[in-house]
Structure 1
Amino acid sequence: MRILHVAHQQLRKYGHNRVSWAQKLYFGLIRNGHCVQAFSDRDVAAFEAPLGIRDLGKKKANQRLLQTVEAFEPDLMIVGHCDIISNDTLNQARAQQPNMAIACCNNDPLFVPVNVEKIHARCDVADAMFVSTGESLLAPFSGKRAKLWHMPNPVDSSIETADTSQQDQLATDLIFCSKETAYTSRGQLVSFLKDELKTAFKDKFTFRTPGSFNEPGVWGRDYDNALANSAMGLNLNRQENFDWYSSARMAQLVGNGLLTFTHAANGFDRLMPEETLVYFTGQEELLQKIREFYHDVEKRKAWASNARTFFHQEINSTLYAQYIVEATLQQPFSHDYVWLKSNS
């Protein structure tokens, strides 16, 4: 199948970027045998603009996408986070290629109002809309052209290559990477943990917080290395209590073998087997569980290994990509996708 993948490919990062869910989707599509043409809207806009000023290249980027549709003749267009591309352009693309289906993917949270507006807008033109929040919260977007689906954040065997679940001692005991401060108070929880863990363990416990608390952020290979040298990780969303919502951080932590702590309110116990993720409801419970797994290395390794194995077997980019294709084209599902059978 010929698939046009429209997303921010981060070409101008020149390798110095964090893990991209769009890149994982691209890899998965190719592994499934599809002919995939990538179109990076932001990069094309910058390349085409006078003096490289991206905002001046938006009109040209839309024109170039239509040119690509005409030349490539895709059977399916998958559209990620690409605000530069207008709905009018997508409608023109469909007119050029009447048999082409359009899938849109949104990996951002519903507690950000502008993101809700973006999903509503894309549902007008897409045949299928994939959102990284559980289907139980997608009803407000129904009634338009797009059929609504949940999509997970997958791991990729070529990206999440570390396995710290097999190691007894690592340089970092606990890590939390983040630079986002809007729509969140999670910094208070991290500050509490830093104080309590320092009091309890003095200098024996290493808690890294790249991107916050005056600690420089880590990107690209530095980010990979930070995870590959950490035993445990915090999966703290900017807000909790959104069914099956997590930032891509969870897949990155679990996929590299870190024991991962995440809030119970998001309902991942319906998706994950027992003794994989560590759930908490409050700061005292989280602190107690961090201390428990720090002292019990074998338990930490066993739970982290269970979670890593499950993700790599059942929530990987190859299955994820094929699911998006099959759901969009309304084909029979070729796999018993765990996020479908558990979503109840």
Structure 2
Amino acid sequence: MRILHVDNHQHRKYGYIRVSWALKLYTGLIRAGHNVLAFSDRDVAKFEAPLGIREFGRKKTNQRLLQTVDAFQPELVVFGHCDLIDNATFAEIRRRHPGIILAACNNDPLFVPRNAANIEKRCEIADAMFVSTGPGELTRFAGNRARLWHMPNPVDPSVECADVSAIAGDDAALEADLLFCSNSRQHTERGQLVSQLREQLPEGFRFHTPGLFDQPALWGLDYDRKLARSKMGLNLNRQEGFQWYSSARIAQMAGNGLLVFTHSAAAFDDFMPQETLVYFDDERSLLARLQDFHQDDARRRHWAGNCRAFFHREINNTLFAQYIVEAATESKFSHDYVWVR
């Protein structure tokens, strides 16, 4: 299938890129056997704009997308967080090419009002809408054109290629017992929990928190190396309690073999096997579980290894991409996707 993938492909990062579910989707579509063309709206806007001011390139970017569709003739357009592309442009694509299918993807949380509004807007024009929150939370968007689907955070075997679960806890290669990376301050109070953990964890427990407490954030290869040198990872979302919702860090940590601690309210045990993710309900239970696994390295490695293997087998980006194609085109599923069961 010819697929046009519209998203932020980070061309202007010149290699200093963030781990991106959008790039994982792009490579997954190719691995699934499709002919895929990338259209990076932010980069095109910057290239086309007078003086390189991105917002001044918005009109031209929409024109370039229409030009690209006319030339490439995709059967499916998959688009993500491409805020510079107007719904009117997608409507014009459908007018010019009536048989085309439009699939929208959104990997941001529903508790951010601007993001919820973006999903609502895209549901008006897309044939299918894929959201990283669970289906039980998506009923608010029902009644528009788009069919509503959940999408997970996938691993890419070429990106999440480390395996900390195979390394003994006393190995000098490991520099952190627990890792939590964050540079987001809006719509969250998780910094308070991190501060309290720092105070209560035992002396000698290496809790690394890049991006917090005046520490610089990590990007690109620096972030990848940090993951590969950390035993356990803390998956704190800006807000908890939304079905199947998580920051993309859950796949980044699990896929690299870190033991992942995540809040039980997201109900990932609906499809995750036992002895994979470690769930907590509050600060007290989190502290207790952290210390239990810190003191039992064999158990840490066993659970983390199970989780890594499950993500790479069942929530990898090739299956993720093929699921989006099949759901968007209303085709029979070729795999028993664990998040659909």
Q: TM-score, normalised by structure 1?
A: 0.97
The residue that corresponds to 2:248 in the other structure is: 248
The residue that corresponds to 1:127 in the other structure is: 127
1:171, distance to aligned residue in structure 2 (A): 1.1
Q: Residues 176-325 of structure 1: matches in 2 within 5 Å? A: 176-197=180-201, 200-201=202-203, 204-325=204-325
**Higher mean Cα deviation, 90-99 or 240-249?**
90-99
Cα displacement string for residues 135-170 of structure 1 (whole angstroms, at most 9, x for unaligned residues)? 001011011110000000000100000000011131
The residue that corresponds to 2:68 in the other structure is: 68
1:102 is aligned to 2:102: yes
Q: Which runs of 4+ in 1 moved over 3 A?
A: none
1:271, distance to aligned residue in structure 2 (A): 1.6
Cα displacement string for residues 75-122 of structure 1 (whole angstroms, at most 9, x for unaligned residues)? 000010000000000000111211110000000000001111101100
Work out the CA distance in 2 between the residues paired with 1:18 and 1:85.
Answer: 22
Work out the CA distance in 2 between the residues paired with 1:151 and 1:15.
Answer: 27
Q: Residues 110-125 of structure 1: matches in 2 within 5 Å? A: 110-125=110-125
Q: Residues 149-160 of structure 1: matches in 2 within 5 Å? A: 149-160=149-160
Work out the CA distance in 2 between the residues paired with 1:327 and 1:39.
Answer: 22
1:255, distance to aligned residue in structure 2 (A): 0.3
Work out the CA distance in 2 between the residues paired with 1:214 and 1:324.
Answer: 39
The residue that corresponds to 1:326 in the other structure is: 326
Find the residue that maps to 2:95 and give its secondary structure.
Answer: helix
1:19 is aligned to 2:19: yes
Work out the CA distance in 2 between the residues paired with 1:214 and 1:194.
Answer: 15
1:17, distance to aligned residue in structure 2 (A): 2.0
Work out the CA distance in 1 between the residues paired with 2:152 and 2:15.
Answer: 24
Quote the RMSD (CA, aligned, Å).
Answer: 0.6
Counting matched residue pairs gives 337
The residue that corresponds to 2:177 in the other structure is: 173
Work out the CA distance in 2 between the residues paired with 1:261 and 1:247.
Answer: 13
1:206, distance to aligned residue in structure 2 (A): 1.1
The residue that corresponds to 2:31 in the other structure is: 31
Work out the CA distance in 2 between the residues paired with 1:17 and 1:210.
Answer: 17
Find the residue that maps to 2:149 and give its secondary structure.
Answer: strand
Work out the CA distance in 2 between the residues paired with 1:313 and 1:192.
Answer: 36
2:192 maps to amino acid = Q
1:196, distance to aligned residue in structure 2 (A): 1.0
Find the residue that maps to 1:332 and give its secondary structure.
Answer: coil
2:138 maps to amino acid = L
Work out the CA distance in 1 between the residues paired with 2:221 and 2:96.
Answer: 41
The residue that corresponds to 1:59 in the other structure is: 59
The residue that corresponds to 2:85 in the other structure is: 85
1:252, distance to aligned residue in structure 2 (A): 0.3
Find the residue that maps to 2:340 and give its secondary structure.
Answer: helix
2:104 maps to amino acid = C
Find the residue that maps to 1:279 and give its secondary structure.
Answer: strand
Find the residue that maps to 2:324 and give its secondary structure.
Answer: helix
Q: TM-score, normalised by structure 2?
A: 0.98
1:281 maps to amino acid = D
